[in-house]
Amino acid sequence: MKKDHPVLSNVRPQVKLAVVCDTTKLKDAGTPAAHIYMIDNRVVANGPQANRYEEGGAELKTVCDVNDDISWYVLPLNPTLGDVIEEVYFVNRSGQDVFQGNIGSPKPQEGFPNFLLGHLRTKGDLNYTLKFKIRYKNDPNLKEVTWDPGPWLEVK
């Protein structure tokens, strides 16, 4: 029986981030400095940061509110290739622990290895890293990817 996607279940995150990976270009790359694109459903429209952290880039700034549920969905740019994103992990790189430890920390959702869900519990700024694995069609080996270009959360 096919499971519903977590976004369509009981929890509907207010903040949604998509991380799109060009798996073809990442296959032979060492540490990726490109070929991963981040977008969210939040807009930074005014102030000094308005044009600095644009959608579709590496240094995405996501502005959130305390008590927001937040999700990351990591997926391949071209799903017709048969590549699959697995084992997505969130790492707090620097800044305040806006998740208050394990209580709200982003976690993979059962049956959906490319989807993280967390809960923002306190105000602050947080730089983070995403780690995940790519399973290429017709290749038994998993490629480990650490995406650490500087995405961050601002929780108000």
User: According to the model, what pLDDT value does residue 56 have?
Assistant: 74
- Pairwise CA distance, residues 109 & 88, whole Å: 10
pLDDT one-digit tens code per residue, 107-121? 998 888 899 999 999
In a domain, 135, yes or no: yes
Distant-in-sequence, close-in-space partners of 19: CB < 8 Å, separation ≥ 6: 36, 37, 38, 72, 73, 74, 75, 130, 147
Sign of the CA dihedral running 93, 97, 101, 107: negative
pLDDT at 104 over 50: yes
Domain count, the chain: 1
Mean per-residue pLDDT of the chain: 84
In a domain, 132, yes or no: yes
User: According to the model, what pLDDT value does residue 47 have?
Assistant: 56
pLDDT at 84 over 90: yes
In a domain, 56, yes or no: yes
Confidence of residue 151 (pLDDT cuts 50, 70, 90): confident
* DSSP track, 47-96: STTTTTS-TTBSS-EEEE-TT-EEEEEEEES-GGG--EEEEEEEEEEEE-
- Pairwise CA distance, residues 61 & 31, whole Å: 22
In a domain, 19, yes or no: yes
In a domain, 1, yes or no: no
| C-beta of residue 79 within 8 angstroms of C-beta of residue 134 | no
In a domain, 101, yes or no: yes
User: According to the model, what pLDDT value does residue 121 have?
Assistant: 94
pLDDT at 52 over 60: no
Confidence of residue 8 (pLDDT cuts 50, 70, 90): very low
CATH number at 78 reads 2.60.40.3910
In a domain, 126, yes or no: yes
| C-beta of residue 99 within 8 angstroms of C-beta of residue 53 | no
Q: Is 102 exposed, middle or buried (0-12, 13-18, 19+ CB in 10 A)?
A: exposed
Q: Look up the domain containing 64 and give its range.
A: 6-155
